């Protein structure tokens, strides 16, 4: 259900340029970045009378991505993007290693600024899409092996969103963004599965380069 | 030591306007905000150390938890006041005070934390030509007075005061302000545990409360 909605969204955004009467500028951005403070929050309310989540701090995470924008108005770009967030450890590399591939629709609003020697432009942007998440746990494997049980730990795919702000100078981009991947963590022991909601949030920094087509 | 440094810092900023050759404008900002999902984190290795002291099992100490673990809190509310003096056209330096009202972690009766933060602040404006009047970057550095209310008496479980910092982005339109801020309060959790034979053993862990906050405000130009 969620997947089909997302595909519909992407198709709409992708075909949008065809309906635009006034052909605008197109641009492609390539980006490399760092997730500064990846934080995994697991819902533990089902464990008892506690409310809220357990939070695990992650290591810094590297990212690579690309985006294409079509400017429907002078300052308003609509686009699609894909991003790879490379594996990072939570608490400990051997306990949980998570990586994601995010595919999203994106909107970018440029703001005209007064002549300035530092930057050419400022923009605000939002992303909404789908994250393909992958979780590996060596600890689960070891525990399973020790007790002679088949233990499997996995994470579901799910919604991805981000909000951020960017700066432009001579086609170079600098962005700061907050992003969230919604997932579910599944622990399967000999066919019996326990699941709980998991969200991965982070503040990230990107540097990028803009190609105008 | 930390306190005296901050006091020195405050004095430096307070007297700054006196040294400015060119008298600039100043403003007072009133702010109200929410913290949608604060996180309370402890340092993993501190926890391992505390647990291994309490349960002397050799194998526990071999686990290295370099990162923090913690709990997420319910939405919190903040009210605050900033004073800025513009040392340059677009650069304001000032002082601020805010109150982060009690936030519930886990359950209200288990842990409720509130903070009062006193800080130095700087605000760099960028003028824009659109529906907004200006965008600004704001930084804060100061001291947080932290308070824990819990199920346990405060002589058994308490938290320390400590450094506070925040970084954010704001938007100005007429005199209305809108800000998004990331803030951190550093503290220490002090616990006295009964070691089983009636003696109280001290355990402590560095803790941090971090949050993304959204503020709306109003600016009074002086």
Domain residue extents for chain A: 2-212
For the stretch B162-182, pLDDT in tens is: 999 999 999 999 999 999 999
CA–CA gap between residue B203 and residue B192 (Å, rounded)? 6
Residues from chain B that touch A91, judged by Cβ atoms under 8 A, are: 44, 65-67, 69
B130 and A111 within 8 Å at the Cβ level: the answer is yes
B126 and A116 within 8 Å at the Cβ level: the answer is yes
pLDDT range class, residue A66, cuts 50, 70, 90: very high
Reply yes or no on domain A2-212 having CATH 2.40.160.20: yes
For the stretch A143-185, pLDDT in tens is: 788 888 888 889 999 999 999 999 999 999 999 999 999 999 9
Contact B157, B189 (CB under 8 A): yes
Task: Name the CA radius of gyration of chain B, rounded.
Answer: 21
Contact of A120 with chain B, judged by CB distance below 8 Å, is answered with no
> For residue A106, what pLDDT is reported?
97
CA–CA gap between residue B110 and residue A48 (Å, rounded)? 13
Contact of A46 with chain B, judged by CB distance below 8 Å, is answered with no
**Using alpha carbons only, what angle is made at residue B52 by residues A60 and B155, rounded to the nearest 5 degrees?**
95
State the smallest CA–CA distance between residue A35 and chain B in angstroms: 15
Contact of A50 with chain B, judged by CB distance below 8 Å, is answered with yes
Contact B76, B101 (CB under 8 A): yes
Contact of B73 with chain A, judged by CB distance below 8 Å, is answered with yes
**According to CATH, what is the number of the domain B2-16+26-221?**
2.40.160.20
For the stretch A94-129, pLDDT in tens is: 788 999 999 999 999 998 888 777 888 999 999 999
The residue behind tokens 């009133």 is B30
CA–CA gap between residue B43 and residue A124 (Å, rounded)? 34
Long-range contacts of B196-204 (CB under 8 A, 24+ apart): B200/B156, B201/B53, B201/B54, B203/B50, B203/B53, B203/B54, B204/B46, B204/B50
State the smallest CA–CA distance between residue A57 and chain B in angstroms: 5
Neighbours of B69 (CB within 10 A): 17
A52 and B105 within 8 Å at the Cβ level: the answer is yes
CA–CA gap between residue B142 and residue A102 (Å, rounded)? 38
B107 and A55 within 8 Å at the Cβ level: the answer is no
pLDDT range class, residue B151, cuts 50, 70, 90: confident
Nearest residue in chain A measured CA to CA from B43? A57
State the smallest CA–CA distance between residue B197 and chain A in angstroms: 29
> For residue B21, what pLDDT is reported?
46
CA–CA gap between residue B138 and residue B98 (Å, rounded)? 15
The residue behind tokens 């992958």 is A134
pLDDT range class, residue B61, cuts 50, 70, 90: low
Contact of A57 with chain B, judged by CB distance below 8 Å, is answered with yes
Structure-model confidence comparison of residues B184 and B70, the more confident one: B184
CA–CA gap between residue B166 and residue B142 (Å, rounded)? 9
ipTM (interface predicted TM): 0.78
Mutate to test the interface with A, among B35, B72, B150 (most CBs of A within 10 A): B72
Q: What is the mean pLDDT of residues B60-82?
A: 82
> For residue A21, what pLDDT is reported?
45
- Give A114's DSSP letter: -
What average pLDDT does chain A have? Answer: 87
Residues from chain A that touch B73, judged by Cβ atoms under 8 A, are: 52
Sign of CA dihedral B215, A41, A54, A43: positive
Contact of A114 with chain B, judged by CB distance below 8 Å, is answered with yes
Residues from chain B that touch A58, judged by Cβ atoms under 8 A, are: 67
A92 and B212 within 8 Å at the Cβ level: the answer is no
Compare CB distances from B71 to A52, A59, A116 and report the shortest one's residue: A52
> For residue B37, what pLDDT is reported?
87
Question: How much is the pTM?
Answer: 0.82
Contact A106, A98 (CB under 8 A): no
Among B210, B143, B215, CA closest to B172: B215
**Using alpha carbons only, what angle is made at residue B156 by residues A39 and B54, rounded to the nearest 5 degrees?**
70
Neighbours of B22 (CB within 10 A): 8
Report residue A70 as tokens.
């079509």
| Domain boundaries of chain B, sorted by first residue | 2-16+26-221
């Amino acid at each position: 259900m969620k997947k089909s909605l997302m595909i519909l969204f992407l198709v709409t955004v992708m075909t949008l340029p065809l309906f635009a009467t006034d052909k605008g500028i197109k641009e492609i951005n390539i980006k490399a970045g760092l997730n500064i403070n990846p934080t995994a929050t697991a819902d533990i309310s089902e464990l008892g009378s506690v409310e809220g989540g357990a939070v695990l701090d992650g290591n810094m995470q590297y990212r690579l991505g690309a985006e294409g924008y079509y400017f429907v108005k002078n300052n308003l770009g609509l686009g699609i993007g894909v991003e790879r967030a490379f594996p990072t450890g939570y608490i400990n590399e051997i306990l949980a290693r998570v990586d994601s591939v995010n595919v999203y629709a994106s909107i970018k609003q440029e703001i005209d600024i007064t002549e300035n020697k530092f930057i050419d432009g400022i923009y605000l942007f939002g992303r909404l899409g789908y994250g393909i998440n992958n979780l590996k746990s060596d600890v689960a494997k070891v525990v399973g092996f020790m007790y002679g049980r088949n233990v499997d730990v996995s994470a579901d795919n799910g919604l991805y969103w981000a909000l951020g702000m960017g700066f432009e100078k001579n086609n170079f981009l600098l962005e700061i963004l907050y992003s969230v991947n919604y997932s579910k963590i599944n622990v399967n022991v000999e066919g019996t599965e326990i699941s709980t909601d998991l969200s991965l949030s982070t503040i990230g920094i990107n540097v990028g380069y803009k190609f105008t087509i | 030591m930390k306190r005296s440094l901050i006091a020195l810092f405050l004095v430096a900023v307070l007297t700054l306007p006196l040294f400015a050759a060119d008298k600039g404008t100043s403003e007072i900002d009133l702010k109200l905000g929410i913290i949608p999902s604060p996180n309370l984190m402890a340092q993993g290795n501190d926890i391992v150390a505390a647990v291994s002291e309490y349960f002397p099992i050799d194998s526990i100490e071999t686990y290295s938890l370099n990162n923090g673990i913690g709990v997420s809190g319910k939405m919190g509310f903040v009210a605050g006041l900033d004073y800025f003096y513009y040392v340059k056209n677009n650069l304001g330096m000032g002082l601020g005070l805010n109150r982060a009202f009690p936030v519930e972690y886990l359950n209200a009766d288990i842990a409720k934390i509130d903070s009062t933060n006193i800080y130095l602040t700087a605000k760099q404006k960028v003028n824009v030509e659109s529906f907004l009047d200006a965008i600004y970057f704001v930084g804060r550095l100061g001291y947080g007075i932290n308070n824990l209310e819990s199920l346990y008496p405060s002589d058994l479980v308490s938290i320390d005061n400590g450094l506070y910092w925040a970084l954010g982005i704001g938007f100005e339109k007429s005199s209305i302000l809108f800000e998004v801020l990331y803030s951190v309060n550093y503290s220490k959790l002090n616990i006295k545990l009964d070691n089983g034979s009636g003696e109280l053993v001290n355990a402590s862990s560095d803790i941090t409360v971090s949050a993304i906050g959204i503020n709306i405000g109003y600016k009074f130009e002086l």
